[in-house]
Structures are given as structure tokens and as C-alpha cells.
Amino acid sequence: MVAVALSSRRWGSPGTLPPVLLVHATGETSADWTRVATDLARDRLVVAVDLRGHGASPRPGSYALTELAEDLEAVAAGLAAEHGRPADVVGHSLGGLVACLLAARRADLVGRLVLEDVPVPHPREPRPPSRPDGDLDVDWDAVLEVRAQIDDPDPDWPRVVASVTAPTLVVWGGPESPMPPEHVAEMAATVADGRLVRIDAGHLVHARQPAAFTAAVRGFLAAAD
């Protein structure tokens, strides 16, 4: 596997607190984090990436979750070298799974981990998405390949999750979320140091309840500051 150089956006300035690395969901881009990033950047550097196949990042035509994690590892390694400490990582949906893979393979690059509406993957009935009309900010092949890996996940996922040692906050979107609550709770229970919080907002917690989401993230990250 060859990592691709990810496009990213930055808010704020380096300070005494660890940087925050934000990772978006399938079909989204770094711009999806603008409101949350602006708030978090009041006292730390915030970096949001475009995953491969999304936004301004390259579209290499290959979208294995392990490849996405390898790309993210390069960004996290750069932040750790730049600031002398690991970044705190926040991932939404797909971004949370990619962040889990990163935390499992490179514990030295993840300080604290926030997973927004991210369950432990289990097999589910495939529901191929319909491509929207017009130009997209995503390679549609990336959407299809990622969805296939989530519908029929690697059976090693429980072991991967159990190997995550970073303190982890799992944010569940409540009963409006399409994610099975038992699988989201499993995520919090399976990581080595996990806790679960509910914010009733459906799957798009940070978009529909940005103040509550950011407050939860800030409180969790502050526990280590």
C-alpha cells in the first residue's frame, strides 16, 4: 500500500494543548467540520483532512479502509513531529472507523479519541446508495467501496477495537441514529478505556447539535490537559 498525501484545512494556532485531528464521514469533506473546528481552535490547533477520494485529496481508485488509515497515519505522524506530542483525534462515522484503525496500529500517534456515532462493524443487509445528480466532492467509487466494507466487515474488527488503548469517548446520536445502539455501546465497552455519551441528534451529531457536541468533546479532551 502506498499512502497518498491528504489535503487538509487548519484553524487556530499551536499552543500548550495538543492539536486536534478531525476525520469526516463518507461523502463529506474537511469543510463539514468548520463550525466545530472554529470553536475548538480558540485554544489549540485544529486540522481537518479530506480522506482519499474526497474533497481536494487524490482519487487513486483504491479505497480499502486500511489504506485510508495509512494516509491518516502520515498526517498524524507529521503533527506529532511538529508539536512533540500526539494529536487528539475526532472521527465521525467512516472517519471514526479510520481513526480506530490508526489508534490500533499506532497508539503513539493518538492522545485521546472521540468517535461520533461509530459502532463496532457487524454484517448488515447491503443497501447500495444512489448517486446524487451533478458534480460531487467525492469519487463515487470510494462511496461504493467503503459501503461494501462496512456492510460485510472484516471479522477482525472486534480485535482491532479491543486493541485501542487511547482514552475514548463514544458519542451516540440517540434513537434517531441509524446505528444499532447495542453496537455503539459495544464500541465504548470494547476499547480499553471507553465511555459513552448520548446526544439526541441522529447520525449527524456535530451538525445538528454542534454546541452540545463541542462541549462534550471539550470536556473530554480537557480531562487530559
DSSP letter for each residue of the chain: ----PPPEEEES---SSPPEEEEPPTT--GGGGHHHHHHHTTSS-EEEEPPTTBTTS---S---HHHHHHHHHHHHHHHHHHHSSPEEEEEETHHHHHHHHHHHH-GGGEEEEEEES-PPP------PPPPPSS--SB-HHHHHHHHHHHHS--TTHHHHHHT--S-EEEEE--TT-SS-HHHHHHHHHHSTTEEEEE-SSTT-HHHHSHHHHHHHHHHHHHTT-
Per-residue pLDDT at 3: 86
> Percentage of the chain surpassing pLDDT 70?
99
Q: CA nearest 142: which of 64, 72, 66?
A: 64
- What's the confidence (pLDDT) of residue 225? 57
The answer as to whether 212 is a domain residue is yes
The residue among 23, 165, 51, 168 whose CA lies nearest residue 105 is 165
List, for residues 155-178, the tens digit of each pLDDT value.
999 999 999 999 999 999 999 999
pLDDT digits (tens, 9 = 90+) for 41-67: 999 999 999 999 999 999 999 999 999
Instruction: Give the count of domains, the chain.
Output: 1
Identify whether 147 is part of a domain.
yes
Query: What is residue 15's predicted lDDT score, i.e. its pLDDT?
Result: 86
What pLDDT was estimated at residue 1?
Answer: 62
Mean pLDDT of 95-107: 99
Asked if the structure places residue 93 within a domain, the reply is: yes
Confidence at 140, pLDDT banded by 50, 70, 90: very high
Is residue 2 assigned to a domain?
A: no
**Domain containing 41: what range?**
8-128+135-222
pLDDT-derived band of residue 182, with 50, 70 and 90 as boundaries?
very high
Mean pLDDT of 207-223: 97
Q: What's the whole-number mean pLDDT along residues 71-90?
A: 98
Q: What average pLDDT does the structure give for the chain? A: 97
- Domain membership of residue 1 (yes or no) is no
Q: Which pLDDT score is estimated for 211?
A: 97
pLDDT of residue 128: 82
User: How would you classify the pairing of strands 46-49 and 8-11?
Assistant: antiparallel
Q: In the block, which residue shows the cell 461494501?
A: 148
In a domain? residue 3:
no
Looking at 47-51, 76-80, 221-225, which range is the least confident one?
221-225
Inform me whether the pLDDT recorded for 185 exceeds 90.
yes
Flag whether 180 is in a domain: yes
pTM value is 0.97
Residue 54 lies in a domain: yes
Question: For the domain that residue 124 is a member of, what is the CATH number?
Answer: 3.40.50.1820
pLDDT at 87 over 70: yes
